[in-house]
Chain A
């Protein structure tokens, strides 16, 4: 799924809506810090630009500060230090209702005492939009999320997925330039979640609205985003498009957090520009120098399972070839997850396609693993 081609990296393509080209970022965090108790920083010196029309995801484990950033942007939490700019004007002192930012909440936050149509009309009513226009825009918004005939229902009469769509429609009905989404799909089951991911993505592409999306689900982030900011411990670990994030993680945390990953810990023996030689439990591995402390320092090697060749016929193509023992096989339909011990590490995982000749492999057999130095990234320890 992750290797899916992503053709939609058109951050600038949003000018197609007839807007004049504007290269200033829509949102800018400038050395923003946030502390709740005055003792620990939840967000540490955040600098982040969000481009117009971009779908930017803040991804990270719980407690990493991503939701706090969103709340500061929405205006529900004041920044302890620093300034947030929306459309080039500082908004630290602008109350939430004047920011004009649409927001989708984790539990949808649909107003239970109002019908679906009344929920959608609410942001227009408080803006004193004329009645006829309200009706027209509510209908349009409901059609957009394929809930045209549900206007008179109460939120409680809708399924989770339908409530979710209403929440999205409500956040968009007043034409905000920016929409924030705080784990909006967290409460849905897996299948519905995937379907909604595409719907939200398509709405984003059609409307050209800027979206800042918060999630802890990496596949969600990779599916929908133009760029992903990986948060950990109050700091953005890496900010990059999904493919780059997966293929070229900058540190061990990102490598671990995004996708499946094999890690081998060792000491750097030699360094020569982009290439390093690492001693892992006595095995010498050639790797790509990405983010290390130089010769003598410890490093974490990151190798994606699908970049490892099993019993390669052309061993010469691989700078690293090692004997491995198959420890465990887990049948997963399209592929067989194979855990093996190699270079003194018995948590090394490779994926063997079900159709290949290797599918008949047995536990306990000895095989050969080969991987290229460029696929083996030497990161911080």
Chain B
């Protein structure tokens, strides 16, 4: 039987506890509030905005309202009739007057390359035309006689669209509204995602191979020496990222220090200097160096907590040093290995400045393409979709890590 517990004066115990703890709770909320507000406005809100931008599509609906309305009932089997062309002419003229025609043309051009000049050209002429419009449009640009053009406009008429995400994985709707691969020459994003993943994996593995022994040294050396080593590990942190990246150019370029050295030693001929930078290889080398501390620190923080007596115990029980290290030490470092790999991989997959500087042609990563769409092509929707896919990938990694190791065992230092 469960009898309700009460305080001496008869109040329910739960209520008494709640009121006694109230000040503590209020204080906790107040302490956390500034951080929460900051995170909301500087992190959650922008990300939500970005994700929304990847699916929002107001341009066509806003600036071609008549055409959109007419096309609503279009079956997509034949070229639409005069009614549609009349609406199109009205929309184009109106858009030209409000100087929004450029945006509309650009948006349609993202979807079907070549449509920009069709739109802007037709809009220029349409002001002088009298009905019927159909012939004149078809005379002006033959594209108006193609189903694809009208399908593109119809597809972009809803205010919420998936075209950005499809474009981000090299897919599009065909005339019949089916999802198909884009033309051979336009397939870049899937390959780029794959290359980004692959390069991130290589960087992560390189960091692990280089970082594990350093972290082990750090954790096992006497404090005096390990402090010095720690400074050496952290030194790159205190140097500008730009300086470090450019110093790799100095070292690795064809007329650089490393090539000069190899020629001087005689490993390679002067005529066969190796291209070490401005390609994927250079990006991997520079990123490994830059991200190494993010591997070393979590590893170190885990290794520091492993008592040296574990290895001694294993040895006293009859295991050779290496066996003891492999069977006893390494498994206990796994939370650190997981944390380090997760951290480095996530940082690598979205890395921008190093591939931009030393990546050359084949060392570019997805972030460089996102930047391109943000700054050059101004296709923010696609940039947001690419970023959104990246975000989902990272969240999935976290989920996987949580499943395999447990996020509560994550130790970052």
Contact = CB atoms under 8 A, between A and B. Distances in A.
Interface of A: 74-76, 95-103, 105-107, 109-113, 122-123, 126-127, 170-171, 174, 180
A109 B309 contact: yes
A277 to B, nearest CB: 53
A210 to B, nearest CB: 15
B309 A170 contact: no
Interface stretch (B55-63, B258-266, B314-322, B349-357): B314-322
B183 interface: no
Contacts, number: 69
Contacts of B331: 113
Given A102-B317, A111-B310, A113-B332, 17 more contacts: A76-B315, A95-B315, A96-B316, A97-B317, A97-B318, A97-B324, A102-B316, A103-B317, A105-B313, A109-B309, A109-B310, A109-B313, A122-B314, A122-B319, A123-B319, A126-B318, A126-B319
- From A76, A96, A98, A112, residue with most partner B Cβ within 10 Å: A96
A176 B317 CA distance: 9
Interface in B280-330: 307, 309-310, 312-321, 323-324, 327-328
B307 A76 contact: no
Contacts of B310: 109, 111
A109 B312 contact: yes
Contacts of A113: 331-332
- From A74, A100, A105, residue with most partner B Cβ within 10 Å: A105
Contact of A96 (B309, B315, B327): B315
Given A123-B317, A126-B319, A170-B317, A96 B332 contact: no
A62 to B, nearest CB: 17
Given A105-B309, A106-B309, A107-B309, A97 B328 contact: no
Q: By DSSP majority rule, is chain B's interface helix, strand, loop, or mixed?
A: helix
A101 B318 CA distance: 8
**Interface size band for B:** 10 to 19
A171 B320 CA distance: 16
B328 A111 contact: yes
Contacts of B328: 111
Nearest to B310: A109
B317 A105 contact: no
B316 A127 contact: no
B312 A74 contact: yes
Q: By DSSP majority rule, is chain A's interface helix, strand, loop, or mixed?
A: loop
Contacts of B315: 75-76, 95-97
Contact of A103 (B313, B319, B327): B313
Of all A-B residue pairs in the complex, the 9 with the closest CB atoms, nearest first, are A123-B317, A109-B313, A103-B316, A109-B309, A96-B315, A126-B319, A113-B331, A105-B309, A126-B318
7 contacts: A75-B316, A97-B317, A97-B324, A103-B313, A105-B309, A174-B318, A180-B316
Given A76-B312, A113-B331, A127 B307 contact: no
Contact of A105 (B312, B318, B319, B324): B312
A318 to B, nearest CB: 53
A203 B315 CA distance: 23
A110 B318 CA distance: 15
Contacts of A74: 312, 316
Contacts of A98: 318
A206 to B, nearest CB: 21
A74 B319 CA distance: 13
A112 B332 contact: yes
A105 B323 CA distance: 20
A17 to B, nearest CB: 22
B307 A107 contact: yes
B309 A123 contact: no
A171 B319 CA distance: 13
A99 B312 CA distance: 13
A76 B316 CA distance: 9
B38 to A, nearest CB: 37
A99 B315 CA distance: 10
A154 to B, nearest CB: 13
Contacts of A102: 316-317
B144 to A, nearest CB: 70
B327 to A, nearest CB: 8
B337 to A, nearest CB: 13
A110 B310 CA distance: 7
A175 to B, nearest CB: 11
Contact of B323 (A96, A126, A174): A126
A103 B323 CA distance: 18
Nearest to A173: B317
Contacts of B317: 97, 102-103, 122-123, 126, 170-171, 174
Given A74-B312, A109-B312, A97 B307 contact: no
Contacts of A95: 315, 320-321
A74 B312 CA distance: 9
A101 B313 CA distance: 10
Given A107-B307, A109-B307, A112-B332, A100 B313 contact: no
Contacts of B320: 95, 97, 126
Contacts of A111: 310, 313-314, 328, 332
Contacts of A122: 314, 317, 319, 327
- From B310, B316, B318, B320, residue with most partner A Cβ within 10 Å: B316
